[in-house]
């Protein structure tokens, strides 16, 4: 995954600094999402989250038909990274938005349920810790 990540980063480096077309923005967003996927596999969760954020900025310039799936993929991958970083509230926000964009995606639906359960458990534990003895 490290070698693949380096190749994707090299491809990003040769793209023009100011993306002049929607196709260039779509390509740049896809490359960033590939870097994020490699970073997730390498357990570099902060880099994965950062790459997804950069991809989300680029998705706005992508052709209309590509915005929805690219945005959902970026939000999903960022949610996975944020979950591993312990930011459950932000992860849940991202995965819920991804689920709104792609409601039939099973992986997104599973992550919604998983993070919801983690948040409920965390709230329960905090409530128990705050309760008087």
Residue ranges covered by each domain of the chain: 2-130
- Residue 69: CB atoms within 10 Å: 14
Distances in whole angstroms, Cα of residue 68 to Cα of each of 101, 102, 110: 6, 8, 19
**pTM for this structure?**
0.89
- List, for residues 91-132, the tens digit of each pLDDT value: 999 999 999 999 999 999 999 999 999 999 888 777 655 556
108 near 76, Cβ under 8 Å?
yes
- Cα–Cα distance measured from residue 66 to residue 17, given in angstroms and rounded to the nearest whole number: 21
Check residue 56 and give its pLDDT. Answer: 95
What pLDDT is stored for residue 128 in this prediction?
59
Architecture of domain 2-130: Alpha Horseshoe (1.25)
């Amino acid at each position: 995954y490290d070698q693949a990540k380096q190749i994707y980063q090299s491809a990003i480096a040769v793209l023009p600094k100011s993306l002049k077309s929607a196709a260039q923005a779509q390509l740049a967003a896809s490359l960033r999402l590939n870097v994020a996927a490699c970073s997730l596999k390498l357990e570099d969760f902060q880099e994965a989250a950062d790459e997804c954020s950069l991809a989300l900025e680029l998705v706005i310039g992508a052709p209309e038909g590509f915005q929805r799936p690219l945005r959902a993929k970026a939000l999903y991958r960022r949610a996975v990274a944020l979950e591993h970083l312990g930011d459950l509230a932000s992860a849940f926000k991202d995965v819920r938005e991804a689920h709104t964009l792609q409601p039939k995606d099973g992986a997104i639906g599973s992550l919604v349920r998983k993070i919801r359960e983690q948040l409920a458990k965390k709230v329960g534990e905090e409530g128990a810790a705050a309760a008087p003895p």
